[in-house]
């Protein structure tokens, strides 16, 4: 899929420009050097190749949109593809986040998550506030009880458009960017989960964790999945040309395969983690003990469950400490 970077001009620069323009207009003076300077920055940013911008480590905000080359933006109307076996329709294949078994894998991952959160004392019932970060086409969210107050957000606008068309109500959806800020108030959700999302957040991962903690009620839960030694072992055990391996992207061309082996051999010794690739398609791997130790700095670690989520990912269950409300 091709994509386009939007909102490339940092807000502060825009505000500064607007402020200067207003002042200049008010004083009826010619454009100052500051305006020229800010305009130059905007021109430079506009001239960048979106793929390069996505790969840049500290990009401000990017949303993946369906029709990048078009001058205007059309919001697609999806034709229903009803599946008799389920209440909700199945999304078109190009929106899937798995190569096969879209329904079965989603149900399995949802049930495993519910087992883990139940063990930690959270029962999802009417009104429980739940956020799915990086929900994709709601492969997992669709299996949660429809009576919850469930939200899904993703930076892939086409997936969100599909979810809005077919799964809302009962759930609600919004697009977000790569910048770690979501449009919800402090302490909004009882459960926040991100299935196979920290597996792609190569930069600003700590800030995303802090943002998710901000949104979680004190005492509430976060269920986050990561690639670690389990995914690596699985990846190494299968044929490099297999479909799954191609899908997960961590070993396609020989050069990538080689890098993957070199990095993963060092995991847990001199490396806490590594990424294969950068930007939207980055695959992020952590040493399990290191990431658990690291996240324990920010929240209570309640459970660590290997092989809990698609593609042999480990789930880490965190609880926002009840006494950290001063953060807000």
Ligand X SMILES: C[S@@+](CC[C@H](N)C(=O)[O-])C[C@H]1O[C@@H](n2cnc3c(N)ncnc32)[C@H](O)[C@@H]1O
Residue with smaller CB distance to ligand X, 137 or 220 = 137
**Six-digit token pair at 263?**
């990095």
Residue with smaller CB distance to ligand X, 39 or 181 = 181
Q: Could you tell me the sign of the dihedral formed by the alpha carbons of 249, 253, 254, 255, in that order?
A: negative
The number of beta carbons lying within 10 Å of the beta carbon of residue 115 is 12
Residue 156 engages ligand X in binding (rule: CB under 6 A): yes
Report the residue from 201, 209, 213, 235 that binds ligand X according to the rule CB under 6 A. 201
Residue 60 engages ligand X in binding (rule: CB under 6 A): no
- Planar angle of CA 32, 34, 37, nearest 5 degrees: 120
Residue with smaller CB distance to ligand X, 128 or 196 = 196
Nearest-angstrom CA–CA distance, 245 and 252: 7
Helix, strand, coil % in the chain, rounded to nearest 5: 40, 20, 40
Of 23-31, 86-94, 193-201, 285-293, the segment contacting ligand X by CB under 6 A is: 193-201
Residue with smaller CB distance to ligand X, 17 or 198 = 198
Residue 200 engages ligand X in binding (rule: CB under 6 A): yes
Q: Minimum CB separation from ligand X for residue 201, in Å?
A: 5
Strands 129-133 and 149-154: parallel
**Six-digit token pair at 155?**
């930076």
Contact (CB, 8 A) for 226 and 199: yes
Residues numbered 72-111 forming contacts with ligand X, rule: CB under 6 A: 97
E-strand ranges in 134-290 read 149-154, 172-175, 189-194, 216-226, 273-276, 283-286
Report the residue from 38, 59, 110, 176 that binds ligand X according to the rule CB under 6 A. 176
Residues numbered 115-154 forming contacts with ligand X, rule: CB under 6 A: 133-136, 139-140, 154
Q: Minimum CB separation from ligand X for residue 246, in Å?
A: 14
Residues at the interface with ligand X (CB under 6 A): 97, 133-136, 139-140, 154-156, 159, 176, 178, 195-197, 200-201
């Amino acid at each position: 899929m091709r994509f386009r970077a939007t909102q490339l001009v940092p807000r502060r620069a825009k505000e500064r420009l607007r402020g200067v323009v207003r002042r200049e207009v008010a004083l009826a003076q010619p454009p100052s050097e500051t305006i020229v300077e800010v305009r130059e920055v905007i021109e430079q940013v506009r001239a960048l190749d979106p793929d390069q911008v996505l790969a840049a480590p500290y990009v401000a905000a990017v949303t993946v949109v369906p029709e990048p080359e078009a001058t205007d933006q059309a919001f697609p109307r999806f034709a229903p593809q009803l599946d008799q076996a389920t209440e909700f329709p199945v999304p078109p294949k190009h929106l899937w986040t798995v190569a096969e078994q879209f329904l079965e894998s989603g149900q399995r991952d949802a049930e495993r998550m519910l087992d883990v959160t139940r063990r930690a004392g959270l029962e999802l019932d009417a009104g429980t506030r739940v956020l799915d970060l990086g929900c994709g086409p709601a492969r997992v969210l669709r299996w949660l009880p429809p009576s919850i107050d469930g939200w899904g957000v993703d930076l892939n606008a086409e997936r969100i458009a599909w979810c809005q068309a077919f799964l809302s109500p009962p759930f609600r959806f919004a697009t977000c960017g790569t910048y770690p800020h979501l449009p919800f108030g402090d302490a909004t959700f009882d459960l926040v989960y991100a299935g196979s999302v920290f597996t792609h957040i190569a930069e600003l991962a700590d800030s995303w964790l802090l943002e998710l903690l901000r949104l979680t009620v004190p005492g509430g839960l976060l269920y986050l999945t990561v690639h670690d030694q389990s995914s690596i072992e699985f990846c190494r055990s299968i044929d490099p040309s297999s479909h799954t391996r191609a899908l997960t992207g961590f070993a396609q061309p020989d050069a990538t395969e080689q890098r993957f082996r070199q990095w993963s051999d060092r995991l847990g010794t001199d490396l806490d983690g590594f990424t294969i690739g950068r930007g939207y398609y980055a695959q992020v791997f952590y040493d399990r003990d290191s990431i658990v130790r690291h996240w324990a700095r920010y929240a209570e670690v309640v459970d660590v469950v290997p092989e809990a989520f698609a593609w042999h990912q480990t789930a880490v269950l965190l609880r926002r400490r009840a006494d950290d409300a001063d953060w807000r």
